[in-house]
Amino acid sequence: MAETIIKIDLNKSAYENDKVHNRWHPDIPLVATVKPGDDFIVECYDWTGGQIKNNDSADDVRDVDLSQVHFLSGPIGVEGAEPGDLLEVDILDIGTFEESQWGFNGFFSKQNGGGFLTEHFPEAQKSIWDFNGMFTKSRHIPNVEFAGLIHPGLIGCLPSKELLDTWNKREAGLVATDPDRVPELATLPNGETAHMGQMRGDAAKAAGAEAARTVPPREHGGNCDIKDLSRGSKVYFPVYVDGAGLSVGDLHFSQGDGEITFCGAIEMAGWIHLRVNLIKDGVRKYGIKNPVFKPSPIKPRYDDYVIFEGISVDEEGGQHYLDVHVAYRQACLNAIEYMTKFGYSRAQAYAILGCAPVEGHISGVVDIPNACATLWLPTGIFDFDINPSADGPQKKVSGGMDVPLSKDKE
C-alpha cells in the first residue's frame, strides 16, 4: 500500500496547510523527499481551496478571489535530481474523496478573470456535477451524462531563479502593452495572498512578492490542462533545481479540450498516486524545452461525433491570418448555436463543451489566410439523437433549472 505523503483536510483553510503552496518560487521548501522508483499518494484541494460550494447560486464564482489560486500539494523532492535531468512521473491512479462526490464548472465574470468566450458570457455562472462511479451528470444540465477522465490540470517542477526572472520579465512586458485591459493580459506576482508553504516571516514575504502565479502553463509544465494525463500516463519534466520540487493540484473529473470556460473542467478535490524516476542529463540528451508525455491508455470510448469547423474569421466578419485561437473560438460558437436547436440554453451548451470529453483539433494552418480548427462533440453523451437529419432538430431538452447566473455587483 503506497504511503500518503501529503494529506489535506477539506474542513480547514488551505492556508493552514504547510504542505501546500499557491505560487512558483525556487526557495519554497520541499515538504517531503522520495527516491527514484518510489510511488506515493498525494491529496489535493480543489484549485480554489474550497471557495466554491455545492449549491444553486453562482455568487461564489462571481466573488472568487483568483489571486489565491492554484493551491498545489508539494513541492516534493526526489533524491539525486539535479538541474538538466528529466523527472519521469507516472500517474498510476487518481480519484475522488468518498466524502466529496461532486465537482463544479464555472464561467468567470469578465470583470474577474473572464474566459475563452467572455464577450458572449460576461457574467458569472456555475453548474454542479454529481459523481456516480466513473460517470457524472448535472442537475443544471439535463439529458447528458458521460464517463470522466480524471486528471491533474496542474503539475510541474519548481523553476530556477533565472527561469522565474524570465517569466516575470516577459509577462510584465506583455501587460505593459495594455495595462488597463479587462480581463488582464497576464497575472503578475501578488504577495498579499501568496501561500509559500513552509516559508515563514520576511523570507516568505520577499519570495511571495516575486513568486510567479500559477495561472498559465510554462516551460516547467504548470497549468497545462491536458485531459489525457490520466491513469497510466507518463510525463517527463525538465528539472531546474536540486531535488526537482514536484507539485500537483487542480484535479479535474472531466474536461473538454481547451478547458474553454476557464473554470472549464469539472473541478474537484481528490488524490493522485504517482511514481517517479530520473533520466540523468535528459534535457540535453533529448533536446527538451517543455515537458513531453505519453497519454493514458484509458479514456472514455466515444466513436461517433458531430464535428464543427471554425475558421479564422471572427464574429464581426474580421479576417485574421492563420489564427488558430479565432478558428477554435468559432468552432465552439458554432457548436453552441447547434445545441440550442435541441432546447439547451447557450450557457448549458457552453458548460457541456467545457466539461464533456470533447476533442479539439488543429486541422489546417497553411491555407492562407484561414486557419481551420475543429471541435468534436461525442453524440453518445446525450440521451437523444443529436445528429443532423432531414426532419430537423427536435427539442428534447426540458425540465430542470438553467445554469445559475449571478449579476456583477454595482
Tell me if 338 sits within 8 A of 317, measured CB to CB. no
How far from chain centre, in Å, is Cα 216?
9
Tell me if 289 sits within 8 A of 117, measured CB to CB. no
Q: How do residues 289-299 score in pLDDT, each as one tens digit?
A: 999 999 999 88
pLDDT value, residue 410: 80
CA angle 3, 9, 10 (to 5 degrees): 130
How many C-beta neighbours within 10 Å does residue 36 have? 16
Whether residue 399 has pLDDT greater than 80: no
Tell me if 36 sits within 8 A of 80, measured CB to CB. yes
CA distance 164 to 188: 12
- Grid cell 497575472 is found at 187
As given in the structure block, the three cell numbers for residue 315 are: 464574429
- For 210, residues 6+ apart whose C-beta sits below 8 A from its C-beta are 25, 164, 168, 189
Q: How do residues 247-285 score in pLDDT, each as one tens digit?
A: 999 999 999 999 999 888 999 999 999 999 999 999 999
Whether residue 400 has pLDDT greater than 80: no
* Averaged pLDDT score across all residues of the chain: 97
- What does CATH list as the number for 4-294? 2.60.120.580
DSSP class per residue in 343-405? T--HHHHHHHHHHS--EEEEEESSSTT--EEEEEEEGGGBSS--S--TT-------SS-PPPE
Q: How do residues 226-244 score in pLDDT, each as one tens digit?
A: 999 999 999 999 999 999 9
CA distance 95 to 231: 10
Do 4-294 and 305-404 have matching folds? no
pLDDT confidence of 33, banded at 50, 70, 90?
A: very high
- For 192, residues 6+ apart whose C-beta sits below 8 A from its C-beta are 67
Residues 331-338, mean pLDDT to the nearest whole number: 98
Q: How do residues 168-199 score in pLDDT, each as one tens digit?
A: 999 999 999 999 999 999 999 999 999 999 99
Cis preceding-peptide flag for 238 (omega within 30 of 0): no
Residues 78-90, mean pLDDT to the nearest whole number: 98
CA angle 10, 11, 13 (to 5 degrees): 85
Torsions phi, psi for 168 (to 5 deg): -65, -40
As given in the structure block, the three cell numbers for residue 322 are: 492563420
Between 410 and 145, where is the model more confident? Answer: 145
First to last CA, the chain: 53
Residues 115-144, mean pLDDT to the nearest whole number: 97
- For 89, residues 6+ apart whose C-beta sits below 8 A from its C-beta are 155, 234, 235, 236, 237, 246, 274, 275, 276
pLDDT value, residue 1: 81
Q: How do residues 201-227 score in pLDDT, each as one tens digit?
A: 999 999 999 999 999 999 999 999 999
As given in the structure block, the three cell numbers for residue 191 are: 504577495
Domain boundaries, the chain: 4-294, 305-404
Q: Looking at the domain 305-404, which fold is it?
A: Endonuclease I-creI (3.10.28)
pLDDT value, residue 119: 96
CA distance 175 to 47: 24
Residues 147-171, mean pLDDT to the nearest whole number: 98
Residue 363 identity: S
As given in the structure block, the three cell numbers for residue 364 are: 489546417
CA distance 166 to 180: 23
Residues 164-168, mean pLDDT to the nearest whole number: 98
